[in-house]
Amino acid sequence: MLEVVDTIEALRGRVADHRRSTGSIGFVPTMGALHAGHASLIERARRKSGIVVVSIFVNPLQFDRADDLERYPRPLDADVELCRRLGVALVFAPSVAEMYPVKPEFLVQVGRLANHLCGKHRPGHFEGVATVVLKLFEIVRPDEAYFGEKDAQQLAVVRRMVTDFNVPVRIVGVPTVREPDGLAMSSRNVRLNAAERPLATSLYTALRKVAADVQAGATSAPAITGQEATLIPADERLRLEDLELVDPDDFQPVETVTDPVIAAGALWVGNTRLIDNVRCTPRARS
C-alpha cells in the first residue's frame, strides 16, 4: 500500500522498515507533474527492486528564473494517484522548508560537464540539480536510482557525481518516451498552446536528421548542425537556443565525428523551453 510522507525522519524510518522486509530500494527522483516518461522510470524500477520510492519536490535551487519556478506545475494529488496505480511503496513529498531549513552554505560544484548546453544557458542549474540529488541519495539511501535519457546532460552529471563522491548507488538511464508525433514527454509540454504544439516537434526533426547525417558518414560537426538547424521553421514563436554534437561522457562539443556522439538541442517555443537529444552512431569503417 502506498504511503506518502513529507519529512526526512519519517521517510528514513519507512525505508529502513522496507529494507528489512523486502531488500533492495529503487528510487525515482522527480519534480512531479508526472507523465508517461516518469511512469517508464517507475515501471523499470519495479522490475528490479524490492520497493520503489518516488520523490516529488520542485527544487528551487535548480531554477535560474523566478517565473519558471512559479509556473512549474504541481498536481500532487494526481501524481500520488499515478504512483498508487504503478505500485509505488513510498512517495516522499517534502516542503522546501523540510529540504532546506536554512539557506545552504555548501553546494555541489559541477565542472566542465556544465560548460555547454543547459549549463551554459541556465547558470547554477546543475549545481542545484547535483545538490538536491545528493541530498536525496543521503536521505533515501537507494540501491538504484532511475533517470530519463531525455535529460542526458543531467544524467551525465549525476553519474559523474556518484563516481567522484563514491556514492553507493547504481544510476540507471531509461530511454526517452515520446508522443506519437515524436515530441519528448516533458512536464513543460502542458504549457504549449494549440498553435505552439505542432511547432514543438521541429527540434526532434532536426536532431533525427543530424543523426542520419552522422550515420551516412558526415564528420564535420559544425557543418552538420549548421545545415540541420535550418529545419527549424522561420517562425517568430520559435528560437533555437542550441544544436550541438557532444561527447556522451563529458558533454564537450566535438568538431569531428569519429565515435558515437549525442546530438542535443534546446528550442524555445513561445515562452516554453524544450530540450531533447538523440544518440548518433557513425557509419562503420570498412
Q: Which CA distances in Å does 24 have to 16, 124, 145, 187?
A: 11, 33, 11, 29
Query: One digit per residue, pLDDT tens: the chain, 286 residues?
Result: 899 999 999 999 999 999 988 889 999 999 999 999 999 999 999 999 999 999 999 999 999 899 999 999 999 999 999 999 999 999 999 999 999 999 999 999 999 999 999 999 999 999 999 999 999 999 999 999 999 999 999 999 999 999 999 999 999 999 999 999 999 999 999 999 999 999 999 999 999 999 999 999 999 999 999 999 999 999 999 999 999 999 999 999 999 999 999 999 999 999 999 999 999 999 876 5
User: 18, 38, 116, 125: which is the annotated catalytic residue?
Assistant: 38
> Where does residue 141 fall: left (phi above 0), alpha (psi -120 to 50 degrees), or beta otherwise?
left
Whether 237 and 193 share a structural domain? yes
Whether 20 and 159 share a structural domain? yes
- CATH number where 244 lies: 3.30.1300.10
Residue 181 lies in a domain: no
Q: Which three cell numbers stand for residue 58?
A: 520542485
The answer to whether 225 touches 243, Cβ cutoff 8 Å, is: yes
- CATH number where 134 lies: 3.40.50.620
Whether 106 and 228 share a structural domain? no
Whether 9 and 126 share a structural domain? yes
pLDDT at position 283 is 83
- Label residue 134 exposed, middle or buried (CB < 10 Å: 0-12, 13-18, 19+): middle
pLDDT at position 285 is 65
Residue that terminates a domain, selected from 144, 174, 204: 174
Q: What are phi and psi of 92, to 5 degrees?
A: -105, 110
121 assigned to active site: no
Q: How many domains does the chain have?
A: 2
Q: Which of 224, 214, 229, 218 is nearest to 260 (CA)?
A: 214
Whether 169 and 80 share a structural domain? yes
Residue that terminates a domain, selected from 174, 195, 216: 174
Domain extent, residue 193, equals: 187-280
Pairing label, strands 90-92, 25-30: unpaired
Residue 179 lies in a domain: no
- Label residue 6 exposed, middle or buried (CB < 10 Å: 0-12, 13-18, 19+): middle
